[in-house]
Amino acid sequence: MQETLLFSTDAKQGLYDITSEVERIVSESKVQSGLAHVFIQGSTAAIMIQENWDESVQNDVITLLSKLVPAGVWEHDEHDGNGDAHLKAGIIGPQETIPIIDGKLGLGRWQNIFLCEFDGPRRDRNVVVTVLKN
C-alpha cells in the first residue's frame, strides 16, 4: 500500500508532527507485521523521528542546525538563497523506516515522525508513505 500525503508549512524552518497521518495509513493497510517507509519528495525538507513531549526538542533541532549550517554563506545561495536548506535536509535525510508491530507503528514512547521544513513556508510538501507486509 502506498499513499502520498500533502502538507503545507507556515514557517521558514520548523518541525511538523505527521505521526497521526502515518498511523492512519498503517491502520487502513491492515498490515500486522511489516514496515512503514516515510519519504519526503524535495531537497530542502527532511523526515526525522524525534521526541514530541514538548516543543523544546524540536526548537533545539532547528537551533542546532542553524548554528551548524548558517544561512547566507553558501555557493548555492547565489542561485536561489537557500543553500543552508539543502545542506540541513541532506544532514537529516529524506526518509525514515518504522517497523509495524501488531498493526501499529513500532515507535518508542516519546518518538514521533516529523516533517522538517528548512525552506518554507511551502504550500505543497509531498510525503510518500509505503506500507510493506512481512
List, for residues 11-42, the tens digit of each pLDDT value: 999 999 999 999 999 999 999 999 999 999 99
- Decide if 38 is inside a domain: yes
Q: Which CATH number fits the domain that encloses residue 101?
A: 2.60.120.460
Number of domains in the chain: 1
Q: Provide the domain limits for residue 43.
A: 12-124
Give Cβ neighbours of residue 64 (< 8 Å, ≥ 6 apart): none
- Decide if 134 is inside a domain: no
- Decide if 50 is inside a domain: yes
- The position carrying cell 516519546 is 110
d(CA 1, CA 8): 23
Give Cβ neighbours of residue 88 (< 8 Å, ≥ 6 apart): 13, 44, 46, 65, 69, 116, 118
pLDDT digits over 70-124, tens only? 999 999 989 999 999 999 999 999 999 999 999 999 999 999 999 999 999 999 9
- The pLDDT, as a whole number, for residue 77 is 87
pTM greater than the 0.85 cutoff = yes
